[in-house]
Structure 1
């Protein structure tokens, strides 16, 4: 059976500024993600990986190339249908939630925005799905731990029932023990909801836990697309990828 691609990116260049002040943050990036797949973008800080994610989400207007996501060829603006199919989970669970909104309001507003009904039942199910339960429904962000806040952020992303999640370093702001819990949650949700993931991370261990394939980025360019199995065995072709692997091994000791 042929598996179609949920995401296709071809010759994507993203820049900031103009004229002599222009800086290309991403240069001619090309990759695809199969429906139901999980794809990582890895590299050191400033390599362009988060910029790709933001370009897909429509948060960066200055780009060229071709992007097709969930069957929709993307232009400068995203359609309402796009945001029902594609949602993003940001790095900082502290900054991504409004401090004066309860969990209930955060989730109900996300559903109302997409025209969903039966909101009470949906909220209860979402909270159960992300491992919180209805006891957290009327709490404010300051009453939650970092891991709990990120669970709420994931629930908010799932509220419109998307098929694709864009994950921008979803565990990097969390304690190591909590990171594993969130990664396991994301793996479970992907399986249960048949989701497609694109995840940005500087941590090869995180990518290895959640993804099957990954693009290795350096200075705005994809230098190599590898399977996670090849990362585990060291069967890579580029010196920069070997450098990332060596750094990951050293930091784990």
Structure 2
């Protein structure tokens, strides 16, 4: 579903150029969920933005459903296949647009018909009833805003969702609800996910495979079972897993 080969991403020009991602390669099969983990600044979100076409300074190869993409220009067909859910639900929705307008504009842009029926179905799928249709972002909680953002991404009926820390801005009590919603949607629609998170527990719950990033490079790949068991090969991945365990009294 997604192939990334020898991806390099940079910002600026020499001598101030910053290399954010170097020689990253991984693949995500149909229906699979793939995680990118690592400390802040390791390049996880940068990879997602390059795939989504939000960054134009990159080299290497990106292919979606077997079709290579180039530069930052993406066709309508690409956006019907790939959608992204951003980290901050407070910033990703227009403050003066109602939920109805957010979803209807997206559906119109994707050339969909039966807009009213589709909006009703989308709101039901993300656990929001018709009572939320004409509300504005300031009238919604953080979890409700993220559900609207997920509904907007699903409006195009994509096959691949790019999830950039979709729960990190939410209360802990709400995070599980959103994660379970995403897991249910993936199962129902057979979607592929690429999930960026600094929370290894989230990745272990949501993903089949994952890559560990450090300083812009992928240093190790493993499956979720190995992550849960703490079976990392490299020193950095082992240290990352140990740090995620939190406070240990004996230490």
Band of TM-score, shorter chain: over 0.9
Match of 2:152 among 134, 153, 156: 156
- Measured against aligned partners, the alpha-carbon deviations of 1:24-57 in whole angstroms (never above 9, x if no partner) come to 1000000000000000000000000000000000
Q: TM-score, normalised by structure 1?
A: 0.96
- The 5 Å alignment of 1:10-159 reads 10-76=5-71, 77-159=73-155
Q: Aligned-residue CA RMSD in angstroms?
A: 1.0
The runs of 4+ residues in structure 1 deviating greater than 3 Å are: none
Match of 2:221 among 214, 218, 225: 225
Q: Distance in 2 between matches of 1:44 and 1:168?
A: 14
Instruction: Look up the SS of the partner of 2:246 in the other structure.
Output: helix
Q: Distance in 1 between matches of 2:228 and 2:179?
A: 18
Corresponding residue of 1:3: none
Deviation at 1:126, TM superposition (A): 0.4
- Measured against aligned partners, the alpha-carbon deviations of 1:45-90 in whole angstroms (never above 9, x if no partner) come to 0000000000000001000111101222010121110001100000
* Correspondence 1:199 to 2:182: no
Q: Distance in 1 between matches of 2:173 and 2:65?
A: 34
Aligned length: 248
Long gaps (5+) in structure 2: none
- Measured against aligned partners, the alpha-carbon deviations of 1:75-132 in whole angstroms (never above 9, x if no partner) come to 0121110001100000000000011111000000000001101000000000000001
